Amino acid sequence: MPDDIGPDEQLSRHVWDPPMLARGADSLYVMLFEFPNGQPESLVWHRFVSGGIDGVHELGCTRQRERRAELVANGRKPEKTYIGAMTARSGNILAYRNPNGHGFRLEPDASGGQGKHHVNILYDSLPGAPALTKPDKNELKLRLCEIFGEIAHHNCPD
């Protein structure tokens, strides 16, 4: 674990509709965490956001405005909606390893592009672990949803 991210840090994942939730449903798709082409996913580090979960929601609303403007600029409907965030303790994320020795690692975003509050979550394998397979990845994504738990729902002001 990076020295900067202690085991008791609160990290949140923004949740979007679409594609993360079926319309009108409360069950999460596996797409909450996709790790496309092995790329990291983004988390919000509460230590660097004032106001706790309200600050996380404020960042989500800002991103919603930006994303919708991008969609309109590209001739598409502005349907991307921030609906809330799920939060987990860093130690709980890092503690999980599947039977094949695969889990996750956390890295503060060194690029500075998204701010100090941005943390990357990536797949991580123990030395000597077998190659990460598609079933491993699916199991890890589902376990991550369990670790993050319930959504703190939010509606952004218009």
The per-residue pLDDT for 59 is 96
Residue 69 host element (H or E): helix 53-73
Minimal CA–CA distance to 44: which of 114, 146, 93? Answer: 114
Predicted local distance difference test score (pLDDT) of residue 41: 93
Distance separating alpha carbons of residues 122 and 144, to the nearest angstrom = 11
Class of residue 150 by CB neighbours under 10 A (exposed 0-12, middle 13-18, buried 19+): exposed
CA distance 120 to 51: 21
Q: What is the pTM of this model?
A: 0.87
Q: Which residue has the tokens 């039977």?
A: 99
- Which pLDDT score is estimated for 1? 40
What span, in angstroms and rounded, lies between the C-alpha atoms of 106 and 83? 24
Task: Judge residue 74's burial from the number of C-beta atoms within 10 Å of its C-beta, 0-12 exposed, 13-18 middle, 19 or more buried.
Answer: exposed
Domain limits of the chain? 10-21+46-153
Measured from the Cβ of residue 83, the count of other Cβ atoms closer than 10 Å reads 18
Q: Note the pLDDT tens digit of each residue in 33-88.
A: 889 888 999 999 999 999 999 999 999 999 999 999 999 999 998 888 999 999 99
pLDDT given for residue 2 in this prediction: 44
Q: State which amino acid sits at residue 43.
A: L
Write out pLDDT tens, residues 83-132.
Answer: 999 999 999 999 999 999 999 999 997 665 567 899 999 999 999 999 99
Dist CA 22 CA 26 (whole Å)? 8
